[in-house]
Amino acid sequence: MDNKCWICGKQEPMMFTCRHCGKTFCSDHRLPERHACEGLDRNAGYSSGTSGNYNRSNTRGQAYGPEIDDVIKNMMKDAARNAAKGAATGAVHRTRSSISTSPSMAIIFICIISFFLELIPGYVELFQLVPDTIFLRPWTLITHMFLHASFGHIFFNMLVLFFFGRELERRIGKDMFLYVYFISGVIAAIGYALTSSASYPMVGASGAIMGVFATLTILAPDMQVYVYFIPMRIKYALMLFVLLDFALIGAPDMIAHTAHLSGVLVGLYMGLRIRNSNKKRRRAEYDPRRW
């Protein structure tokens, strides 16, 4: 028996043979009216009464029988498959668009990819920051920001960057955001190297993210945030984080608190510069002497 549809040539796992003409068809052309069946007398009232397995009731607009049920099921499967394919395509498109238009999303994407690459032997050792070798491996001032020690480490860092990084982008622009982010991260690494009494390696974007958080605090001090589900203004949240880092300096918790504080200092400085620059620009725009 030919496994190709006599009409369209399509092959399916289950082909159907018409009992009227004996030819093989796919699910789309299985019904006699779909393949212009030669063995069916179209004037004999196929639609009223019964003809083989194709049964129709006397009720107007309704059709019954196993063949019709199979057609409906196939239609529903195709619709579900197309809907899932469309949703996946839309998600990929939105992800690509967000990465290409948002520096924060691009950094998050790179950090996630890097987190999986850490499974490669020697990858972390090549890019982590070690205070004693900072001059021999200067690239680690940047690359350490894309490494993370655990899933919880990367999850909370990227969560903060997702919310506050994009908000800072909106306020100061993409280029200035990248400037704040990387300057904060580099100064945080240098601050850690200068204050660390041991040569423990450092990884993570916490210093850069604290710089972003501090910059946003200067520009929008009354913004409402949630710290462990507790609502508070962002300026109070920053004060809380700074006090905790100060209190835990020297604690055996394997957290670079001095890097956090160094990032905060850079963020505060950058925030003040940006705010003063914005004020000068607004005064110049509305200076009546220009007219």
Provide the strand spans (E) within the chain.
16-17, 24-25, 50-51, 54-55, 224-227, 230-233
Which one of the listed residues 114, 144, 260, 262 is annotated catalytic? Answer: 260
Contact status, residue 27 vs residue 16, Cβ threshold 8 Å: yes
Which one of the listed residues 206, 257, 262, 277 is annotated catalytic? Answer: 206
> What whole-number distance in Å separates Cα of residue 136 and Cα of residue 138?
6
Written as one letter, the residue type at 189 is: A
> What whole-number distance in Å separates Cα of residue 134 and Cα of residue 138?
5
Q: Is 257 a catalytic residue?
A: no
Contact status, residue 134 vs residue 141, Cβ threshold 8 Å: yes
Tokens of 31: 């019904």
Contacts 24+ apart (CB under 8 A), 274-280: 274/172, 274/176, 274/215, 274/218, 274/219, 275/218, 275/219
Q: Is 206 a catalytic residue?
A: yes
User: Tokens 């909106």 correspond to what residue?
Assistant: 170
> What whole-number distance in Å separates Cα of residue 13 and Cα of residue 91?
31
Of 9, 10, 13, 56, the closest CA to residue 32 belongs to 56
Q: Which residues of 162-186 are buried (b: 16+ CB within 10 A; e: fewer)?
A: eebbbbbbeebeeebbeebbbbbbb
Run of H or E including 274: helix 257-285
SS3 for 25-59 is ECHHHCCHHHCCCCCCCHHHCCCCCEECCEEECCC
User: Tokens 């040539």 correspond to what residue?
Assistant: 9
Q: Which residues are catalytic?
A: 206, 260
